[in-house]
Chain A
Amino acid sequence: MDRAFQRTRILTNHLLLPPPAQTACLTSNDCLNYSPPELSEKYAFDVNEMRRLMDGHDVEERDRLFGLIIQSKLFNPRVRGGKVFVSPDYNQSMEQQREMTWKRIEYLLERGVFRGWMTGEGEEMEMKRFACFEVLGIFDHSISIKLGVHFFLWGGAIQFFGTKHHHDKWLRDTENYMIKGCFSMTELGHGSNVRGIETVTTYDSNTGEFIINTPCESAQKYWIGGAAKHATHTIVFSQLNINGTNEGVHALIAQIRDADGNVCPNIRIADCGHKIGLNGVDNGRIWFDNVRVPRENLLNSVADVSPDGKYLSSIKDPDQRFAAFLSPLTAGRVNIAVNAVYQSKVGLSITVRYALTRRAFALKANEPEVLLLDYPSHQRRLLPLLAKIYAMSFGANYLKMLYVKRTPQSNKTIHVVSSSFKATFTWSNMQILQECREACGGQGLKTENRVGHLKAEHDVQSTFEGDNNILMQQVSKALFAEYMAAQKRNKVFKGLGLEHMNKPCPVIPSQLTSTTLRSSQFQMDALCLRERELLNRFVADVSQCQARGESKEHAFNTNYQLAEDLGKAFSDQAIFQTFVDAEATLAAGSLKDVLGMVRSLYALTCLEDVTYLRYGYLSVDNAAAVRREITKLCSELRPHALALVSSFGIPDAFLSPIAFNWIDANSWTSVQH
C-alpha cells in the first residue's frame, strides 16, 4: 500500500510540478567520459615492427586490400562514434547476403586482386594469396569461404589432380571468374569418411563419356558451397566403377549450370537453407541423374581411363591413390587454421580495447571506478588468451611456410601439422571468442560489435575440411606410426618434432623458481616431457591391446583418451617451438623482452593443463608455482596490453564501436543521424 502511495505521489509531482531548472547534476562533469587509451597507454616497443613479425609477410598487400574494402560502399561502411566501420549487414536475408558476397567478389576481381592466383606460380604468389585470404576473412567469413571454394577447392583440384590440358582449359577462366567452380565431395551420408561416398561414375566406351549417378538419397552431395546459386561447374567425387570393378574415389569435372545460370539437364539442385552463420555462402545439394561428361573431364594426374575403357594408374595401392586425392585439401586446412587465428585477433583487439576504457565498481566510495583490465581477474581471463594467439600466429606462419615449400617428402609433416594446428587453432578460436563475448558484457551481444557474432560465423571451422576430433586422432596415429617405425628399424626419431625423444628424458626440478619458470629451456623441457611420456604410454597401451588380439583400429578407438591428450601435447609443443624460433630471430631490445614474457605466459598456460597433474609431470607444489607465475606475468603484461593488440595490425574499421568511443557511438545524437 505504501508503495502504491509513493508511486501516486511521484506521478502527481511529475504531472503537476514545473520541471526543475537545469541543475548541476546534469553537467558533464558527473558523467562518464570516454578516455581514449591511445593517450594514456604507452607503447614500450615498435608496434609496426611487431606487426611485421606477426603477419610475417605481404604487409603492403594486406594494407592495400584493407583500403580497397574500406573505400567501397559495397562493404557496408557505417559511421559510429565518428569512425567508419565495415562489416556485412547480417540483418539482411540469406538471399541478400549471398548477392552482396558475390558483388564484393566482382569488385575485387575488377581491381585485379585475384591476378595470378591460378595462373601464377611460386612461393611468393602463394603467400600473397594467403595474406589476401586473411584480410578478407577479417572482413567476413562468407567472402573468404566463397573464394576459398572457388580458388582452393575447385581451382586446387584442377591444379593438383588435373594435367596440362585441364590447366590450359580451366585455370585462366577460373582466375577471371568466367566460370564459377564448386567442389562436390561431402554427401548426406558421408562427411569425414570420404572413402565411403556413394556417388557412382561409370564409363561408356561407345561415346567416350563418363556417366555420373546419385544412386540413393544418402548419396546426394551436401553442403556444396556455391552450388545453390552461383556455381557453373563442379568437381565431382565418386566411386569410379570400370567394367564392374570399383577403382575407388576419383574426381572429375561436370558442368551444373549454363552461363545464364540455368541448371543443366539431368542435374537437380536444392538449397541447404539458412545456417547459424556463413549465410553469405550459397551451400547447396546436388543429385546427378545419368549426367554424361567427356572422358577428358576425369582429373587424371593419378589415374586415367583409356578411350576404350581401361583403367590405368601409376599408383597401384588404392590407399596411396586415395591419399593423393586428398592432398589439395591441405591448402584449405592451412587457410582455416590461419583464419581462426585472425578471428581471435579481432575478438581480442576489441575486447582488450574495451577493457581499457570500461570501468566497473569503485574500490572505495567517491573513488573512480576501476578499469576492467586493472582487475587481476580480468587480466587472467584475457592476457593468457592474448599470449596464446601470439604463439599461434607464429605457428600459423610456420604452417604456411611448410605448405608453400612442400615437397613429396614433406607431405606427411604437412598433413600432421596442418591437422593438428587446424583443430587446435579453431577450437581455441571458439574458446577465445566466447571469453571475449562475456568480457564485453551485454555489448558483446550486439552484432555490430562483432565478437558475439563471430562465434556463430566460425563455429563451422571445427568440423569442415576435417572434423577436429578426427584430425587429432590422425595426429596421434601418425605419432604412433612414427614411433613404431623408429623402433622397428631401430633408428633415431627424425621429423615431426620428435627428435627430443632421442635425448635423455628431461627432469623437472622439484622447486620451480620464477627464473626457471621463465626460461625457455625449462618450458621446452616440460612440453617435450609430456609429449614423450604420453607417446610412450599410448604406444604401450595400444600394443597391450594388440597383444590381447585386438585389431589396431579397435585399440586406437578404446585408447581415445590418451590419443586426445597426446594430440594436444604434440600441438602445444609444436606451436611453442615456432614461438621460440621466431623469438630467436630478434635482436635484443624492448620488443624481444615483451615477447619473452608473452612466450612464458603461453608456455605456463600450457603447463596449467590438467594433464600435468593427471599424469604427475608436475607436483602439486609445482603446479601452484606455475599458477602464481601466471598471475605475475599477467600483471607485468598489463601495461603492454594495448601495444600487444595494436600489433595485430587490424585496422580500426575492422574492429567495432565498443573498441573505440562507445559512449559517443551510443549517444542520442548518433541515434538521430
Chain B
Amino acid sequence: MASSVSSQHDQVLVEEKSFARILTFNRPKQLNALSFQMISRLLELFLAYEDDPNVKLVILKGKGRSFCAGGDVAAVVHDIRAGGWKAGANFFMKEFTLNYLMATYSKPQVSILNGIVMGGGNGASMHGRFRVATENSLFAMPETALGLFPDVGASYFLSRLPGFFGEYLGLTGGRLDGVEMLACGLATHFVPSAKLPMLEAALCAVDSSDPATISSIIGKYSERPSLKEQSVYNRLDVIDRCFSQKTVEEILSALEREAVDRRDGWISTTIQTLKKASPTSLKISLRSIRVGRLQGVGPCLVREYRMVSHVMRGEFSKDFFEGCRAILLDKDKKPKWEPSKLELITDTTVDSYFSKVKDEDWEDLKLPARSKFNLPPYVIAKL
C-alpha cells in the first residue's frame, strides 16, 4: 500500500501511506543538514498537504544517525561569498517561513527525533505538535559557538521552557539526551527506537487529525525513563539563579560565585563554554530569548529575520563568518571574535540587531497568511 513518489537521490524522501505522509531527510553524509533545496521542497509539500483533504498527518524523520543537524551554513557562507549577504538572508527567509508554517500548521506534525537534532533541525521539528525523542536523541542549539544566535524560532520555543533553562540552552549550546528533552518539554514523547517501526505503522493507520487521538497512539509506545543523576536538568535551581540574571556579564559572575561555593565540574565547563562563544552572539541571543518570551511565534520569527539579516550583512560584527571558518571550514576551532570582549559591546549595538535593516531592497519577513485555515487551539495559542 505504500507508494513511493520520490527517487532515492532526492534530499527529501516522500512516502504516502493512507492519510499519513512520511518525509525523510535524505542527506545522511551531511547529517541531514538543511539545504536551500530541502527547505524549498518541504515548504512546497507542507503547503500542498494543507489543502489536501487526504492528508491528516505529516511525519518527519531523518535517514541515518541524525534527524537533522541544522541549516547548511557552510553553503550559506559560500552563497554569500558568491552573491552577497542577501543570498544568505534569502536562505533564512525561506527557512523561517517554513518554521512559521510548521508552527501554525492546521494538521499535526510528528517528528521522530532518533538522532542528532540541532539548530535548523529544531526549527523543523520543535514547532510541530508532536516531538518524539528516543535514546539516540541529541539536542543542541549551538549557534553562539558559531557567531550566530539561536534562530529558527528558538526565541519562541526556548523561552517557554521551565525557568531559565532556555537561556542556558541558547547561550551555552548545552546538549540534551532524549530523556532530558522529554523532561523539559522539548519532546512530547519518549519512544525507544526499537519501537519506532511499530509506532510508524500505527500512525500510518490514523484517519484523523485529532491531536488527542494521535497523542494516545504515540502514548502506547512511550516510556517515561528517569533522568540520569548527573543530568543538567537536575541542576535547574543553579541554572535559574544564574541564567535569570540581567546581562551576560551578570550571568557569568553569578556562575563564578557558584563555583566559589562548591567545586563542580559542570559549572566550570559552563563558564568555559560561555567564554569561548562569540560575545556578540551571547548578547544578542540573551536579548532575543528575553524578548521572545513575550512575543507570539510570528513576531519572534520576524524579529529573528531582522537579526539574522544583520548578522549576514556583517555590519556590526563578522563573527558568523569567523565562526564558520574556525568550526566548519578550517576546523581549527579557534575563532577570533570581534569585538572580543563582552564589555566592548554596548546596548546600542545590541539594539541595532533588532532594528530594520537599512537597505532599499530589504524587507521584513512576510509571514504567509493563515486566516483561511481552521487552526487548532494549540496553534492559536502560539500566535
Distance of A491 from chain B, by nearest CB (Å): 46
Of A36, A64, A667, the residue contacting B375 (CB under 8 A) is A36
| Interface presence of B287 (CB below 8 A) | yes
A57-106 contacts to B, CB under 8 A, are 60, 63-64, 66-68, 70-72, 81-83
B74-109 contacts to A, CB under 8 A, are none
Which chain B positions have C-beta within 8 A of A669? 212
CA distance A68 to B289 in the complex (A): 12
Digitize A34-71: 1 where CB-to-B-CB distance is under 8 Å, 0 elsewhere. Answer: 11101110000000000000000000100110111011
Distance of A316 from chain B, by nearest CB (Å): 48
Q: Is the CB of A112 within 8 A of B246?
A: yes
Of A67, A81, A110, A664, the residue contacting B290 (CB under 8 A) is A67
Digitize B338-353: 1 where CB-to-A-CB distance is under 8 Å, 0 elsewhere. Answer: 0000000001000000
Residue in A33, A67, A110 with the greatest tally of chain B CB atoms within 10 Å:
A67
Distance of B193 from chain A, by nearest CB (Å): 30
Count, chain A residues at interface, CB 8 A: 31
| Interface presence of B53 (CB below 8 A) | no
| Interface presence of B6 (CB below 8 A) | no
| Interface presence of A111 (CB below 8 A) | yes
Residue in B244, B250, B290, B378 with the greatest tally of chain A CB atoms within 10 Å:
B244
CA distance A34 to B370 in the complex (A): 14
Among B44-52, B178-186, B293-301, the stretch in contact with A:
B293-301
A623-673 contacts to B, CB under 8 A, are 651-653, 660-661, 663-664, 667, 669
CA distance A315 to B377 in the complex (A): 67
Residue in B159, B347, B371, B377 with the greatest tally of chain A CB atoms within 10 Å:
B377
Which chain B positions have C-beta within 8 A of A653? 294
Q: Is the CB of A82 within 8 A of B164?
A: no
Q: Is the CB of A70 within 8 A of B375?
A: no
Which chain A positions have C-beta within 8 A of B163? 71-72
Distance of A19 from chain B, by nearest CB (Å): 22
Chain A residue with Cβ nearest B296: A38
Q: Is the CB of B381 within 8 A of A82?
A: yes
Digitize B237-273: 1 where CB-to-A-CB distance is under 8 Å, 0 elsewhere. Answer: 0001100111000100000000000000000000000
Count, chain B residues at interface, CB 8 A: 30
Digitize B286-321: 1 where CB-to-A-CB distance is under 8 Å, 0 elsewhere. Answer: 010011011010100000000000000000000000
| Interface presence of B328 (CB below 8 A) | no
Q: A60-B287, A67-B293 are in contact. Are A38 and B244 (CB under 8 A)?
A: no
Chain B residue with Cβ nearest A111: B244
Q: A38-B296, A63-B290 are in contact. Are A82 and B378 (CB under 8 A)?
A: yes
Q: Is the CB of B164 within 8 A of A71?
A: yes
Chain B residue with Cβ nearest A65: B246
Q: Is the CB of B380 within 8 A of A40?
A: no
Identify the A interface with B (CB < 8 A): 33-36, 38-40, 60, 63-64, 66-68, 70-72, 81-83, 110-112, 651-653, 660-661, 663-664, 667, 669
4 A-B pairs with least C-beta separation: A82-B381, A664-B377, A39-B371, A651-B294
- 24 A–B contact pairs at CB < 8 A? A34-B377, A36-B380, A36-B383, A38-B296, A39-B369, A39-B375, A39-B383, A63-B293, A64-B290, A67-B290, A67-B293, A68-B244, A71-B164, A71-B293, A81-B377, A81-B380, A81-B381, A82-B377, A660-B380, A660-B381, A661-B377, A661-B381, A664-B377, A664-B380
Identify the B interface with A (CB < 8 A): 159, 162-164, 212, 240-241, 244-246, 250, 287, 290-291, 293-294, 296, 298, 347, 369-371, 374-375, 377-378, 380-383
